[in-house]
């Protein structure tokens, strides 16, 4: 797999003369590193000189009467739904203690919103998050009402899985699939110099297999982290449900 830059992708799209859509392939947002803190105390305001220019990595989230544009960063941008102008910006660290979060979310039948965050504490930890329905549906929702469901440590001390979007919920559990597609700190640093895109930050370790983590939704307890499958890449789970004492997961997987 060759290196991909923003300039190279744009040139290919223009030559094809049609719309090009990709996911997690363009350059990092300044906000992705703006909110890194060590041991939850000392901010490290490392800024990349690039913007996320790919609209497919973000989405619009409706919380109560308010609309937010969210992406792979630490910011909720409140927007006017009629003009799309930015009204204000909220920081996930100040609101609920996450250095970053994913724009993908799952909503249960009660209206609770689940999504995934991460934090350096002092090493990386995945953070399943929940916005309770009474806050999500209120006339004046407060994002500091987001609750941390628990913490899931990654398998690698030098970096975590680059695909934190692969999660789902059942009636009792939060499920997270950790593929062995791992962020390389050295390649990440090269972004500043070479302008590489996100997929070029990641190393593939097929011998590590794929880990499936199951978290109790009531108390955040990780009840099973030793379920392993052959290595595969999956960006999201299609469906998950409980059948007796088993948890069933439907997904589309891809070989690297």
For residue 75 the two structure tokens come to: 């910011």
For residue 91 the two structure tokens come to: 């920081």
| Interval 92-103: pLDDT, tens | 888 888 888 888
| Interval 160-170: pLDDT, tens | 776 777 899 99
**What is the chain's pLDDT, residue by residue, as a tens digit (256 residues)?**
444 444 455 566 566 665 554 444 444 444 444 444 434 333 333 333 334 444 445 788 888 899 998 877 788 888 898 988 889 888 888 888 888 888 888 999 898 999 999 887 767 789 999 999 988 888 877 888 899 998 888 888 767 776 777 899 999 999 999 988 887 777 777 766 666 666 677 888 899 988 999 999 988 888 876 788 888 877 778 899 999 988 999 887 766 5
pTM of the full structure: 0.75
pLDDT at 128: 93
Which percentage of the chain shows pLDDT scores above 90?
Answer: 15
Task: Quote the distance between the C-alpha of residue 197 and its chain's center.
Answer: 16
In 111-236, which ranges are E strands?
Answer: 113-120, 124-131, 147-148, 167-169, 173-178, 181-183, 202-204, 210-216, 222-229
**Cα distances (Å, whole numbers) of residue 78 to 66, 69, 83, 93, 113:** 7, 6, 12, 16, 17
């Amino acid at each position: 797999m060759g290196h991909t830059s923003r300039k190279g992708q744009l040139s290919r799209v223009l030559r094809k003369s049609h719309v090009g859509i990709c996911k997690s392939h363009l350059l990092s947002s300044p906000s992705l590193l703006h909110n890194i803190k060590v041991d939850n105390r000392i901010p490290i305001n490392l800024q990349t000189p690039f913007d996320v220019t790919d609209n497919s990595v973000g989405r619009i989230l409706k919380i109560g009467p308010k609309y937010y544009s969210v992406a792979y960063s630490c910011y909720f941008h409140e927007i006017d739904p009629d003009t799309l102008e930015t009204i204000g910006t909220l920081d996930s660290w100040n609101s609920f203690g996450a250095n970053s979060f994913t724009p993908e979310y799952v909503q249960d039948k009660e209206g609770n919103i689940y999504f995934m965050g991460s934090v350096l504490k002092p090493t990386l930890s995945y953070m399943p998050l929940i916005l309770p329905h009474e806050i999500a549906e209120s006339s004046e929702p407060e994002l500091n009402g987001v609750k941390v469901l628990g913490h899931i440590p990654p398998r690698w001390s030098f970096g975590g899985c680059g695909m934190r979007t692969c999660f789902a919920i059942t009636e009792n559990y939060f499920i997270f699939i950790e593929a062995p597609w791992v962020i390389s700190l050295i390649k990440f640093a090269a972004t500043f110099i070479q302008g590489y895109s996100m997929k070029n930050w990641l190393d593939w370790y097929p011998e590590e297999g794929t880990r499936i983590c199951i978290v109790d939704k009531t108390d955040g307890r990780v009840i099973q982290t030793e379920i392993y499958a052959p290595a595969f890449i999956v960006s999201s789970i299609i469906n998950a449900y409980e059948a007796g004492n088993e948890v069933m997961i439907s997904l589309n997987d891809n070989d690297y």
